[in-house]
Structure 1
């Protein structure tokens, strides 16, 4: 019998004519299977005339593509606080995100403390008009308590105290309830019901001295909060140039630099947030989305065209030219930038590989990698 003869069915040997004997093999488990053991093709060597290339040692500018949102710049936020205790007689601000300008009247309040201070000034003017220092001190106290110059002059001219004193804004921007964070503002801007929601302060309510009444966010000062994925976090640093394209107005592109990288993860996110401060003269909506390219400087190393690298899941290979054919060779890659892949290990500048690794795949077999 000729042992090299194997058939899938009973029969006779085609060489000597003897009856073929059934071959029995016991099943056995295989442990510690390696990638090289599993990836076995029909042939370990591919003969072809595909174009080849070599890994190039060069310095490449690596643009990192990221996404983000427009947020208020909290450095430009201002708070309006109560200088005296009292009751709100008239409120001129009605809902969140209402626009307000510097010097605009926002409420009228009645304050016993202000009334008493006015009466003290009027008493000095009537009984001790020559005591200039006391009179000036009384006037200064009223100004510090929030009374305007016009209201003070009116009190002195009429000789009667004002029971309702106006409060004015010292900032321009959008009105927020006291205690609202930047994240709350961005989330609420996406909800029409939240935008038109009434403020927590109402007419007739009492306020306390030092109480923060409103936050005014300057909509002309904003930052782009860019989300940097884990794989790119080691590349991005403060000062890197950024080109930002807003989705709401692609013509209003913004060029800037990374001004600050937050040293924590927001919420349950696994991305770092980088801020780019800018003047929002185009009035981009707060909470709108942007796309940006961060130019994270040059990276020196060995680079291959992306088409020459084939991903096998947890491993990557390139087809190394050897003895007139190609062998699948395991490599370790690093940064991917456009059509270039950084080679960390597995190849050197003298190795020749196939330009397009996809053409060398046998769809009916695996690939066996060769170690160098």
Structure 2
């Protein structure tokens, strides 16, 4: 019995030793895991601290400024930005290819577009113009003798005069001598020489009625009247020369005549010019791109304040003035009944026959110098393309080159352009 108790006691001792050993092993394992976890935490903290200390900051405008902490640039006072330590790489896939195109070649926009279609279109062109002088009806008044202007009866340029109206009176020693010769021969009774003396006075510009008056009064007339040789509007030589130098438009201001009483004139001097107003010009102004579709002898319907007529275009003349290109359309206006007045405003309407083709609105075309640009849509990107047109109207262009049926183009080309843009056309 005693022996059995000793065995049991020994077994209990062994079990207690095993439990103590297990507790000791568990404690050691727990302690070892705790040490390893703490060590890893310290290592990560050191790496983070090391990474932070390696960060540098720079100025985007002045890259020579480098700091190891955030702040402002000492030069421009802009905030410093984090500087990349390694080269940053960016991969571009096909979805971004349109974004990296040159900005002067392509435009990304959701502007309204339309497809080019073939259609019949006939339109009319409205033009503004005015009544002006027909320079082909210009008559000159020249001095047949030299002398001094004693009296002047016209005061302003473009003053209305009639044929036979007294313009001025002159004193001429040559005319006085010719009159004295006529009276001397009249007293002598030499008929043949008297006829020659009358002819001489006629060649010097003296009217037949004036010669008869001299013979009747038997006195020398020292103030010989000068009469207009045509009806119309009178102007002096100074303004006439200015109009010749600036022939694109006739000046019609009622300025004072430069010739004054007391002035001397020489034989052969052009004193005045007279425009006959029985036939006038109607001049209309048109853009060069619109003039290409207008032909000579084409009919134009003209409307003024109270008149409506139809005339043929006689001349299409291009002009360049003060950096502007334009063309002048000229028509002849019959003014025998004095219906038109110089400077009167006219409105012209030219009708065009219907044409079939690729018509697009004017707003879809951007004029770049002497080239015409549209923006064609290609895979959600608008690209500039040059086009040519064969006809146009107030609102549409007939495209002859550069576009084809069902091409999709921007409805408003000017909307896609800013004032500093330079379009590159492929």
Matched, 1:111 2:172: yes
Report the counterpart of residue 55 of structure 1 in structure 2.
Answer: 118
Structure 2 residue corresponding to 1:142, chosen from 194, 201, 204? 201
Structure 1 Cα separation of the partners of residues 328 and 375 of structure 2:
34
1:109/1:282 CA distance change after superposition, 3 Å: closer
1:86/1:207 contact within 8 Å kept: yes
Matched, 1:279 2:340: no
1:34/1:104 CA distance change after superposition, 3 Å: same
Instruction: Give the number of the structure whose alpha-carbon radius of gyration is greater.
Output: 2
Matched, 1:180 2:239: yes
What RMSD over aligned residues (CA atoms) do the two structures have, in Å?
Answer: 4.2
Structure 2 Cα separation of the partners of residues 203 and 357 of structure 1:
67
Deviations 1:335-372 (A, max 9, x none): 333555423246656x5989x969xxxxxxxxxxxxxx
1:300/1:110 CA distance change after superposition, 3 Å: same
Q: TM-score, normalised by structure 2?
A: 0.59
Secondary structure in 2 aligned to 1:271? strand
1:72/1:61 CA distance change after superposition, 3 Å: same
Deviations 1:25-73 (A, max 9, x none): 559999863888543769xxx9xxxx999413x5x55534333332211
Deviations 1:192-223 (A, max 9, x none): xxx2x432122222111111111222344321
Aligned residues: 309
Structure 2 Cα separation of the partners of residues 40 and 203 of structure 1:
74
Following superposition of structure 1 onto structure 2, how do residues 191-210 of structure 1 map, counting pairs within 5 Å? 195=254, 197-210=255-268
Following superposition of structure 1 onto structure 2, how do residues 13-162 of structure 1 map, counting pairs within 5 Å? 25-26=89-90, 33=102, 38-39=107-108, 54-56=117-119, 58=120, 61=122, 63-129=124-190, 131-132=191-192, 134-162=193-221
Following superposition of structure 1 onto structure 2, how do residues 299-338 of structure 1 map, counting pairs within 5 Å? 300-304=355-359, 306=361, 310=364, 315-316=373-374, 332=387, 334=389, 335-338=391-394
Secondary structure in 1 aligned to 2:325? coil
Structure 2 Cα separation of the partners of residues 227 and 32 of structure 1:
42
Secondary structure in 1 aligned to 2:333? strand
1:204/1:263 CA distance change after superposition, 3 Å: same
1:66/1:312 CA distance change after superposition, 3 Å: closer
Between stretches 86-95 and 274-283, larger displacement belongs to 274-283
Report the counterpart of residue 17 of structure 1 in structure 2.
Answer: none
Structure 2 Cα separation of the partners of residues 313 and 140 of structure 1:
68
Report the counterpart of residue 166 of structure 1 in structure 2.
Answer: 225
Q: Tell me, which stretches of 5 or more residues in structure 2 are unaligned?
A: 1-87, 413-426
Report the counterpart of residue 370 of structure 1 in structure 2.
Answer: none
2:107/2:382 contact within 8 Å kept: no
1:186/1:286 contact within 8 Å kept: no
Q: TM-score, normalised by structure 1?
A: 0.67
Report the counterpart of residue 20 of structure 1 in structure 2.
Answer: none
Deviations 1:68-100 (A, max 9, x none): 332211112222211111112222112223221
Larger RCO, structure (CA 8 Å, separation 6 or more): 1
